[in-house]
Amino acid sequence: MASGNGANGTGRRAGIEADEILDRALALVEAEGAEALTMRRLATELGVATTTIYWHIGNRDELVTAVVRRHGERVGRTPVAGDTARERVLDVARLIWRTSLEHREVTRLAAEHGASTLHARRLELTMARELEATGVIGAAARDAMRAITACVGGFIVAALRADLTPEALQRTTVLVDDDGASDLDPATREALTEPAELPAVFEATLRAVVDSVVPADLSANAYL
Amino acid sequence: MASGNGANGTGRRAGIEADEILDRALALVEAEGAEALTMRRLATELGVATTTIYWHIGNRDELVTAVVRRHGERVGRTPVAGDTARERVLDVARLIWRTSLEHREVTRLAAEHGASTLHARRLELTMARELEATGVIGAAARDAMRAITACVGGFIVAALRADLTPEALQRTTVLVDDDGASDLDPATREALTEPAELPAVFEATLRAVVDSVVPADLSANAYL
DNA sequence: ACCTGAACACCGTTCAAGT
DNA sequence: ACCTGAACACCGTTCAAGT
């Protein structure tokens, strides 16, 4: 926030304006992609001078953060399912994965910014809560959460690669017809030319990571 | 590549020039950060007109890809250690992690671009090879590799967050003093305000993922 | 307190023109 | 084949000025 109002503010009607800006920005991103969110573009979209955004929100960095955070607040309200706390930990992870891909332009916007974790802010809190319910507390809960979210984030980045243009994808994938690949098994060489079954790989890996971090469920029959 | 020469080229002395450009670009990125790599900046660095880069390399997308690939070729030559194939799979993963953080500006450049995987291109091939040695072949080898690299990549992104400015970091971390955190255990709440022990968490998670993907080592006593 | 217009210092990209 | 200068259409940001 630059100077405007904010949470600590006196209210007035500036708060309304700031929210308007963020909502419009979010709509712009979802409709036309992360790179459409420029100060000038957003300003004309709002019928306002560019500098008005600076007054209400701040510079582009702050705009992006605020937009992503706003999105995270919406998405974080999704209820979590699962009969056991461990199941609910898994479910939060799947929720982050799913919503990140559903709103991939917001995800991309967040990634461009190093704020990859932000759009799942509320969901991270939820995960910490469920981890506590499994008996993982304190620094262990934090580290467990970071391990899970790091892996989820990595899979999301991998999944977003599917949106690249064919040429860009080609340019940035491992080349099996290259120099050093000749000693690979032909089956492996051929498999490497095709994309992985990411959803299935994600699910399997997620389970392994959660297993490594959450103690074995000793009272599986306790919750119904 | 735009039109210039390239691998398929007739040689001449243009090839030399293209390599010069990439080396200079790489040096620029390592010295002054990913965002210093602009067409204009690189051109003045080379004492050449901006358009010359277009002729030899192509547009910025192609420049970035080429620079990252070149870096990946260097880094991919690092020998891999380990007595068993499984140990060597782990070692490749650690190598990707370590070199990505050592050359974090190149990593950032690659990430900005969705080419996160590219700087580890050669290393991915190495990993595929070692996976085969553990008995994982074909689509299973590909999926195993993707699982491991996705997680490694996620941890790298998490580690790079440490470079953010304090304000940006503050803005983008989960707020425990927020609304919904009051029901957390105080120890967890406090732990969440501090960064995770990423290297240790990485090592533990990596082992779990590799275990889930590589069959149990039947000759455990083979290594010493 | 809120908003504007004009200006500054950058970008990537294209294209006709030179040798 | 290789390189240039000039121009186009964008950026983010600042700042003095308005109400």
Domain extent at residue B43:
1-58
Q: How far apart are CA B157 and CA A154, in angstroms?
A: 8
Q: Are residues A105 and A210 in the same domain?
A: yes
Question: A15 to chain B, minimum CA–CA distance in Å?
Answer: 19
Q: How far apart are CA A144 and CA B205, in angstroms?
A: 9
Q: Does A98 touch chain B (CB under 8 A)?
A: no
Q: What is the pLDDT of residue A182?
A: 78
Domain-embedded: residue B26: yes
Q: Which nucleotides of C are covered by protein (CB under 7 A)?
A: 1-6, 10-16
Cβ-Cβ contacts under 8 Å between A and B: the total is 209
Q: Tens digits of per-residue pLDDT, B135-164?
A: 999 999 999 999 999 999 999 999 998 888
Is the model's pLDDT at A2 over the cut of 50? no
Chain A residues near residue B116 by CB distance under 8 angstroms: 157
Is the model's pLDDT at A192 over the cut of 80? yes
More confidently predicted of B15 and A62: A62
CB contact under 8 A, B151 and A146: no
Distance of C1' in D12 from CA in A106, Å: 21
Distance of C1' in C7 from CA in A49, Å: 15
Which of B101, B192, B193 best probes binding to A when mutated, by most A CB atoms within 10 angstroms?
Answer: B192
Band of residue B82 on the pLDDT scale cut at 50, 70, 90:
very high
Q: Does A75 touch chain B (CB under 8 A)?
A: no
Amino acid at B197: E
Q: What is the pLDDT of residue A179?
A: 62
Q: Tens digits of per-residue pLDDT, A116-128?
A: 676 677 898 899 9
Which of B61, B125, B178 best probes binding to A when mutated, by most A CB atoms within 10 angstroms?
Answer: B125
Q: What is the pLDDT of residue B49?
A: 96
Domain-embedded: residue B213: yes
Is the model's pLDDT at A39 over the cut of 80? yes
Q: Are residues A138 and A182 in the same domain?
A: yes
**Nucleotide nearest to A48 in CA–C1' terms:** C3
H or E element, residue B219: none
Q: Are residues B95 and B204 in the same domain?
A: yes
Q: Are residues A36 and A114 in the same domain?
A: no
Question: A177 to chain B, minimum CA–CA distance in Å?
Answer: 11
Is the model's pLDDT at A135 over the cut of 60? yes
Q: Are residues B115 and B200 in the same domain?
A: yes
Q: How far apart are CA A51 and CA A59, in angstroms?
A: 9
Q: What is the pLDDT of residue B114?
A: 75
Is the model's pLDDT at A28 over the cut of 50? yes
Tokens in use for B83?
A: 């007595």
CATH of the domain at B1: 1.10.10.60
Q: Are residues B37 and B148 in the same domain?
A: no
- Which letter does DSSP use for residue B216 in this model? P
**What is the pLDDT of chain A when averaged over all its residues?**
86
Q: Tens digits of per-residue pLDDT, B12-67?
A: 344 568 999 999 999 999 999 999 999 999 999 999 999 999 999 999 999 999 99
Q: Does B137 touch chain A (CB under 8 A)?
A: yes
- Give the count of domains, chain A: 2
Domain-embedded: residue A215: yes
Tokens 């709509």 map to which residue? A27
Domain-embedded: residue A134: yes
Q: Are residues B89 and B150 in the same domain?
A: yes
Band of residue B101 on the pLDDT scale cut at 50, 70, 90:
very high
Domain-embedded: residue A145: yes
Domain-embedded: residue A68: no
Q: Which of A129, A148, A124 is nearest to B185 (CA)?
A: A129
B12, with CB counted inside 10 A (0-12, 13-18, 19+), is exposed
**Nucleotide nearest to B3 in CA–C1' terms:** D1
Residue nearest the C1' of C3 (CA based):
A52
Tokens in use for B51?
A: 């358009």
CATH of the domain at B184: 1.10.357
Q: What is the pLDDT of residue B150?
A: 96
Domain-embedded: residue A54: yes
Q: Are residues A46 and A90 in the same domain?
A: no
Q: What is the pLDDT of residue B175?
A: 63
Q: How far apart are CA A57 and CA A59, in angstroms?
A: 7
Q: Are residues A88 and A43 in the same domain?
A: no
Q: Are residues A145 and A208 in the same domain?
A: yes
More confidently predicted of A20 and B16: A20
Domain-embedded: residue A70: no
Q: How far apart are CA B197 and CA A30, in angstroms?
A: 35
A39-46 long-range contacts (CB < 8 A, ≥24 apart) are A39/A63, A46/A20, A46/A21
Band of residue B11 on the pLDDT scale cut at 50, 70, 90:
very low
